[in-house]
């Protein structure tokens, strides 16, 4: 259950960014999570709810974009998507592949309510 | 209003890891982070590794546990410096804990630090601590299907130690199936079958580890 630690780290950053901007409330937090990490959606959501209680992030939406793993073969140059279990090049069978995507744990952006925002 | 953040979630941990890294490079200390489930034989493997390499390298151990000092005491009995890090319930080590452990060690008097991470096949995988490499230990009684259940840990490991191979006949462990699964997940990682408490197979593992230490030294000397 290291999602608690991950989410603490997310919320540290989100809270200070929102406060810096002078926001009243955080309404959405967008993350990118690679499928080759060990971060599980349900556990992230649970941690998010538990940790945002009573903060300016309470009730905000958590939007997680999952990133499909992708690698490039160093032998034949083939670029391919794959699951967690198969990173060998499907074209030439080489084991020398380099992961291009799939290990992300990333905070993309947040949406906040501002005081005196247009239309508010 | 949207605010772009574009930052790694573990930014703070990663930056602390980078500071650990720079410090270790400055002192020429190689660090291996050992990952395994509870009872896989992390401490026994460390003791066997110490015995094999103590005449070549000055070694210290950082022991990560949720509580207790049982493991670090076993290491200290070998006259090897050991620092216990109690995570107080956390399921993994973080870079700041390693920073404090490094503060407690005399880095000028060391060549190799072995980190025994908290027994867990999931959580430590996502945390970079500033180490040179992660190595994973699986023990035979855990079963040959573990790479299919915990792919992440087999992927971040630079090598896989298969411990307690002396129990293979009892547990019906299919070594070929295991090698096949690891080969799909992490085709460049060597697999070292050992029986740590009996010293079996330990030499191949420690020779490989020494080669990594020497390669890093040669890199640093360039």
- Chain A residues at the B interface, defined by Cβ less than 8 Å, are 1-2, 5-6, 9-10, 12-14, 17-18, 21, 23, 31, 36-39, 84-88, 95-96, 105-114, 117
User: Are B7 and A85 in contact (CB < 8 Å)?
Assistant: no
Taking the C-alpha atoms of residue B2 and residue B20, their distance in angstroms, rounded to an integer, is 34
Q: Look at residue B10 and tell me if it is in a domain.
A: no
User: Are B122 and A105 in contact (CB < 8 Å)?
Assistant: no
Q: Report the pLDDT averaged over residues A62-90.
A: 93
Q: Look at residue A85 and tell me if it is in a domain.
A: yes
Q: For residue A6, give how far its alpha carbon lies from the nearest alpha carbon of chain B (Å).
A: 7
Buried b (16+ CB within 10 A) or exposed e, B156-166: bbbbbbbbbbb
What is the pLDDT, as a whole number, of residue B185? 87
> Residue B73 is part of which domain span?
28-221
Residues of chain B neighbouring A31 (CB-CB closer than 8 A): 9
Q: What is the pTM of this model?
A: 0.89
Q: Look at residue B8 and tell me if it is in a domain.
A: no
pLDDT at A120 over 50: no
User: Are A9 and B155 in contact (CB < 8 Å)?
Assistant: no
Buried b (16+ CB within 10 A) or exposed e, B18-37: ebbbeebeeeebbbbbbbbb
User: Residue B45 is part of a domain; what is its CATH number?
Assistant: 3.40.50.300
ipTM: 0.84
pLDDT in tens, B169-188: 999 999 999 999 999 889 89
Residues of chain B neighbouring A14 (CB-CB closer than 8 A): 5
User: Residue A37 is part of a domain; what is its CATH number?
Assistant: 3.30.2320.80
The label of the residue with tokens 């035979």 reads B140
Q: Look at residue A54 and tell me if it is in a domain.
A: yes
Q: Look at residue A43 and tell me if it is in a domain.
A: yes
Q: Please tell me which residue of chain B has the smallest CA distance to A119.
A: B1
State how many domains chain B has.
1
* Percent of chain B at pLDDT exceeding 70: 100
Q: For residue A111, give how far its alpha carbon lies from the nearest alpha carbon of chain B (Å).
A: 4
Q: Are A9 and B9 in contact (CB under 8 A)?
A: yes
State how many domains chain A has.
1
Q: Rounded mean pLDDT of chain A?
A: 91
Q: Does B68 touch chain A (CB under 8 A)?
A: no
Q: Are B113 and B21 in contact (CB under 8 A)?
A: no
pLDDT at A1 over 80: no
| CA dist list (Å): B76 to B12, B46, B185 | 32, 12, 36
Q: Look at residue A119 and tell me if it is in a domain.
A: no
> Residue A38 is part of which domain span?
3-113
User: Are A105 and B184 in contact (CB < 8 Å)?
Assistant: no
User: Are A13 and B184 in contact (CB < 8 Å)?
Assistant: no
* A117 pLDDT tier (thresholds 50, 70, 90): low
SS3 B220: helix
Ordered mean pLDDT values, 10 residues apiece, chain B (222 residues): 93 94 97 95 95 97 83 88 86 93 97 94 91 97 92 93 95 94 91 97 98 94 86
Q: Look at residue B39 and tell me if it is in a domain.
A: yes
Cβ contacts below 8 Å, chain A against chain B, sum to 102
């Amino acid at each position: 259950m290291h999602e608690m630690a991950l989410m603490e780290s997310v919320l540290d950053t989100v809270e200070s960014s929102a406060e810096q901007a002078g926001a009243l409330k955080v309404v959405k937090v967008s993350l990118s999570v690679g499928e080759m990490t060990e971060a599980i959606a349900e556990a992230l959501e649970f941690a998010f709810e538990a940790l945002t209680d009573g903060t300016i992030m309470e009730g905000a939406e958590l939007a997680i974009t999952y990133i499909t793993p992708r690698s490039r073969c160093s032998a034949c140059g083939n670029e391919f998507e794959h699951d967690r279990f198969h990173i060998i090049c499907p074209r030439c069978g080489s084991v020398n592949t380099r992961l291009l995507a799939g290990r992300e744990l990333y905070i993309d952006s947040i949406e906040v309510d501002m005081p005196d925002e247009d239309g508010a | 209003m949207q605010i772009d953040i574009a930052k790694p979630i573990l930014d703070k941990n990663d930056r602390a890891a980078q500071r650990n890294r720079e410090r270790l490079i400055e002192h020429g200390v190689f660090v291996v982070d050992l990952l395994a489930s509870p009872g896989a034989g992390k401490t026994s493997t460390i003791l066997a590794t110490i015995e094999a390499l103590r005449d070549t390298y000055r070694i210290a151990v950082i022991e990560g546990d949720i509580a207790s000092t049982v493991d670090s005491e076993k290491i200290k009995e070998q006259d090897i410096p050991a620092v216990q890090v109690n995570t107080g319930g956390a399921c993994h080590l973080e870079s700041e804990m390693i920073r404090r452990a490094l503060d407690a060690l005399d880095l000028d008097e060391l060549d190799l630090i072995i980190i025994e991470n908290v027994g867990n096949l999931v959580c430590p995988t996502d945390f970079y601590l500033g180490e040179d490499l992660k190595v994973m230990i699986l023990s035979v009684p855990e079963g040959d299907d573990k790479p299919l259940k915990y792919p992440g840990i087999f992927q971040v490991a630079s090598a896989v130690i298969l411990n307690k191979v002396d129990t293979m006949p009892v547990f019906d462990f299919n070594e070929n199936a295991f090698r096949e699964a690891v080969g799909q997940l992490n085709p460049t990682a060597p697999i070292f079958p050992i029986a740590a408490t009996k010293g079996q197979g330990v030499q191949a593992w420690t020779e490989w580890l020494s080669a990594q230490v020497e390669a890093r030294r040669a890199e640093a000397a360039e």
